[in-house]
């Protein structure tokens, strides 16, 4: 008797039929609920452990347990991939972030162990730039504050001085971090006839400055001159608390700070003090230093607009992000270089199938 793998069954032992294709499928963990079509695409090629029903945020121990024995994982920015997890998952070859930021990944530990990591840049630039502008306009015109007041039944009619905000048109916008998203934010400023300053680790080529309509400035000069300051840079050790008490003190008392990048870029305690004391006029925050926990003092302030990390949250964009993460995963597990490799130094050490 020959079984499904073309191997003869031993005499006297029951034959177990296992479909050959399922036995050969590589194992994948998807840590958060995603679109059904993404899971369908994955299941056509891989043996998939998903989180579709409960969409739990796994604890570090649970994540290690579920990732053990996996060939690849699709992770969110809430999933910490570190040396302890990698040591518990010797088969792991692919860690694919469904996000642009990757401060949740220990790149050095991944590279040392030959595990390839990837992210999903590009596909969310315009959507995140749109959200940056939503926060900017909402904070400038006190949108969330006035809506809360109105829903509480406090509106008794029009008044000349009711919820006076800041003009956006013809104001100065300072952009800290002039990558793809920062450039998209700058281009949108043209419709408001704004003066745009930018600060970046590297100055843009002259033709790109002309295309975006942005002028280079030092960080201090940008903070001193801008009516609106938008943070659009990656989070790293170098950018941790880039905006603290000193930087906030440089800003105009009428200025508004916008963050749709990463929470740790701002020292939230310093920001709370500046907002509470009126040393800056307002803020719009989509990200938080300890998220999903939020500094409770922020909830007590009327001059800050708060949203729950939804910068890239349009259906079309989130779907593109997930499919791009799958593109990266497929490439790595097929032995190819993925489109968005974060650690090329791991290529020479990559784990074999």
The rounded distance, in Å, linking the Cα atoms of 153 and 82 is 50
b/e code 247-271 from CB counts within 10 Å (16+ = b): bbebbbeebbbbbbbbbbbbbbebb
Predicted local distance difference test score (pLDDT) of residue 13:
36
Predicted local distance difference test score (pLDDT) of residue 216:
98
**For the chain, which domains are there?**
20-123+315-349 (3.40.50.720), 125-306 (3.40.50.720)
User: Which residues are paired to 48 by β-bridges?
Assistant: 28
pLDDT digits (tens, 9 = 90+) for 72-118: 999 999 999 999 999 999 999 999 999 999 999 999 999 999 999 99
Of 20 and 177, the structure prediction assigns the larger pLDDT to 177
Residue 109 structure tokens: 């530990």
Predicted local distance difference test score (pLDDT) of residue 350:
80
Q: Which residues are the active-site residues?
A: 262, 291, 309
The model's confidence at residue 9, banded by pLDDT at 50, 70 and 90, is: very low
Of 19 and 71, the structure prediction assigns the larger pLDDT to 71
User: Which residues are paired to 139 by β-bridges?
Assistant: none
The rounded distance, in Å, linking the Cα atoms of 185 and 43 is 38
Owner of token pair 């907002």? 275
Predicted local distance difference test score (pLDDT) of residue 23:
55
Residue 353 has pLDDT above 80, yes or no: no
pLDDT digits (tens, 9 = 90+) for 140-160: 999 999 999 999 999 999 999
The model's confidence at residue 276, banded by pLDDT at 50, 70 and 90, is: very high
What is the percentage of the chain residues whose pLDDT exceeds 70? Answer: 93
The model's confidence at residue 5, banded by pLDDT at 50, 70 and 90, is: very low
In this prediction, residues 39-47 reach a mean pLDDT of 98
Residue count of the chain? 353
In this prediction, residues 186-215 reach a mean pLDDT of 97
Residue 264 has pLDDT above 90, yes or no: yes
Global model pTM greater than 0.75: yes
Of 18 and 245, the structure prediction assigns the larger pLDDT to 245
The answer, yes or no, to whether the previous bond of 292 is cis (omega within 30 of 0) is: yes
Helix (H, G, I), strand (E, B), or coil: what is residue 257?
Answer: strand
């Amino acid at each position: 008797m020959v079984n499904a793998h073309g191997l003869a069954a031993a005499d006297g032992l029951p034959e177990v039929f296992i479909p050959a294709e399922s036995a050969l499928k590589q194992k994948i963990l998807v840590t958060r609920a995603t679109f059904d079509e993404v899971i369908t695409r994955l299941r056509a090629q891989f043996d998939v452990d998903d989180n579709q029903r409960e969409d739990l945020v796994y604890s570090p121990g649970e994540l290690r347990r579920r990732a053990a024995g996996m060939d690849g994982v699709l992770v969110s920015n809430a999933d910490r991939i570190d040396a302890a997890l990698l040591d518990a998952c010797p088969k792991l070859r692919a860690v694919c972030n469904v996000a642009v930021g990757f401060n949740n990944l220990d790149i050095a530990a991944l590279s040392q162990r030959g595990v390839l990591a990837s992210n999903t840049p590009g596909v969310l630039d315009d959507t995140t730039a749109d959200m940056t502008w939503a926060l900017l306009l909402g904070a400038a015109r006190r949108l969330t504050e006035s809506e809360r007041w109105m829903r509480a039944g406090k509106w008794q009619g029009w008044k000349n001085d009711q919820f006076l905000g800041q003009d956006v048109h013809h104001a100065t916008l300072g952009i800290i971090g002039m990558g793809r998203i920062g450039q998209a934010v700058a281009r949108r400023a043209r419709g408001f006839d704004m003066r745009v300053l930018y600060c970046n680790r590297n100055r843009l080529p002259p033709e790109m400055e002309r295309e975006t309509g942005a002028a280079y400035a030092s960080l201090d000069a940008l903070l001193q001159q801008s009516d609106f300051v938008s943070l659009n840079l990656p989070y790293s050790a170098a950018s941790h608390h880039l905006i603290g008490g000193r930087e906030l003190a440089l800003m105009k008392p009428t200025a508004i700070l916008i963050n749709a990048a990463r929470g740790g870029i701002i020292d939230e305690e310093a920001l709370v003090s500046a907002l509470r004391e009126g040393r800056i006029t307002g803020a719009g925050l989509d990200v938080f230093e300890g998220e999903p926990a939020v500094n409770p003092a922020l909830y007590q302030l009327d001059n800050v607009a708060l949203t729950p990390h939804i910068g890239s949250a349009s259906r079309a964009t989130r779907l593109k992000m997930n499919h791009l993460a799958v593109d990266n995963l497929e490439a790595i597990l097929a032995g190819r270089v993925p489109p968005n490799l974060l650690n090329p130094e791991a290529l020479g050490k990559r784990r074999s199938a």
